[in-house]
């Protein structure tokens, strides 16, 4: 199965700054087959971006992604306090459709 490794484990930034979250795959994943989710404590995950930079309904353009092959990045520009959460990547290149272990984003 494809293993997704996210870094850093925790990221602590101030409002207005830019966050860069990494997701590395153990084998090649098409950029159409990678997605990002946000999860806040006690809530289900929320889809942010999928299928080659398509933002899910209601997701602001402060959220963007990039990358190809085995290295992918989620960028959150102009951080807001409500962006504090754990962020996961997921691949759909091969079944089982695995998730990364998550990056915790703290807003100072």
- Going residue by residue from 66 to 95, which x/- string records binding to other proteins, judged by CB under 8 A? ----------------------x-x-x--x
Q: Which of residues 21-60 bind other proteins (CB under 8 A)?
A: 33, 35, 37, 44-47, 50-51, 56-57
Count each helix (H run) and each strand (E run) in the chain, helices first: 0, 10
CB-based contact 59:37 (threshold 8 Å): no
Q: Is 31 helix (H, G, I), strand (E, B) or coil?
A: helix
Q: Which residue among 31, 64, 101, 104 contacts other proteins (CB under 8 A)? A: 101
CB-based contact 60:46 (threshold 8 Å): no
CB-based contact 4:24 (threshold 8 Å): yes
Q: Which is nearer to other proteins, 55 or 62 (CB)?
A: 55
Q: Which is nearer to other proteins, 37 or 63 (CB)?
A: 37
DSSP 43: S
Chain residues binding other proteins by CB under 8 A are 33, 35, 37, 44-47, 50-51, 56-57, 88, 90, 92, 95-102
């Amino acid at each position: 199965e494809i293993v997704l490794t996210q870094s850093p484990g925790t990221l602590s930034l101030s409002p207005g700054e830019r966050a860069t979250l990494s997701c590395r795959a153990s084998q090649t994943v098409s950029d159409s087959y990678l997605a990002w989710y946000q999860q806040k404590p006690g809530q289900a995950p929320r889809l942010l971006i999928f299928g080659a930079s398509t933002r899910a309904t209601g997701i602001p353009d402060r959220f963007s992604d990039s990358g190809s092959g085995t290295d992918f990045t989620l960028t959150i520009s102009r951080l807001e306090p409500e962006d504090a959460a754990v962020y996961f990547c997921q691949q759909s290149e091969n079944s089982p459709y695995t998730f990364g272990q998550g990056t915790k984003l703290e807003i100072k």
